[in-house]
Amino acid sequence: MATLVGLLGSVTPPGRSLKALAFALDAARDLEGGLDCRLLNLADYRVSFADGRQPEQFDDDTGKLVNEIHAAGAVLFMSPVYRGSFSGVLKNFLDLVPIEALHGKPCGVIAVGATHHHFLGVDWHMRDVLAWFGALIAPVSVYLCAADFVEGKPSEQAREQLRELVSSVLKLRVLAGDKLGPPPLAARRG
């Protein structure tokens, strides 16, 4: 299982989001030589609709993907902007993930939109969901729009932002070994 997993929450054909996430994982490898990174594109897998069953009860890729997230040392979540928020396919996947898979886990958020107008939509909504898990979320996310890409690739400024995000997430791994506060409210059901 990978130390750093990049999860692309989209089912559209690969484009800017995939290129930005791939660059972020390459940057992580550059920062920590030999770092085991894995890119998971939800478009490449069959994931069931969240219906209350445990991930391993489905006869598709759901259990495998949830196990990848659970075993990862840190996760980068990438989503295109859909209706001012993150994608439904990513939300459905997160609805399948148990609390313990992300509790105390360093996470970073990357979003790609058409314009600068929705720069906080994904950040706010993803932070709400990741806080529910009790994840350790990097303090600042990366939001890229069409203007941040040159010939389909992240611009130098975009690459620098991705490097800084990855650096923050990797630094959070040090904190992840310590207990940081009580379990998330969602885990205190009984």
3-state secondary structure 58-92: CCCCHHHHHHHHHHCCEEEEEEECECCECCHHHHH
Residue 57 belongs to domain spanning: 4-187
Q: Identify which of 72, 35, 77, 70 has the alpha carbon closest to the alpha carbon of residue 56.
A: 70
The domain tally of the chain equals 1
Are 128 and 77 in contact by the 8 Å Cβ rule? The answer is no
Q: What is the CATH number of the domain that holds 11?
A: 3.40.50.360
Using pLDDT thresholds of 50, 70 and 90, give the confidence band for residue 124. Answer: confident
Q: How many Å apart are CA 135 and CA 189, to the nearest integer? A: 18
* Predicted local confidence at residue 1, as pLDDT: 46
Distance separating alpha carbons of residues 159 and 137, to the nearest angstrom: 20
Q: Is the pLDDT of residue 121 over 80?
A: no
- CA–CA separation, 171 vs 137, rounded Å? 11
pLDDT band at 2; cut points 50, 70, 90: low
What's residue 12's pLDDT? Answer: 82
Element (H, E) at 116: none
- CA 39 from centroid of its chain's CA atoms: 10
| pLDDT attached to residue 175 | 74
Q: Work out the number of other CB atoms within 10 angstroms of the CB of residue 174.
A: 9
Residue 134 and residue 39: Cα distance in Å, rounded?
23
According to the model, what pLDDT value does residue 179 have? 63
Over residues 137-190, the pLDDT tens digits come to: 999 999 999 999 999 999 999 999 999 999 999 999 877 666 666 778 777 765
Alpha helices in the chain (DSSP H): 16-31, 62-71, 88-96, 99-102, 121-133, 156-176
pLDDT 10s digits, 50-104: 999 999 999 999 999 999 999 999 999 999 988 888 899 999 999 999 999 999 9
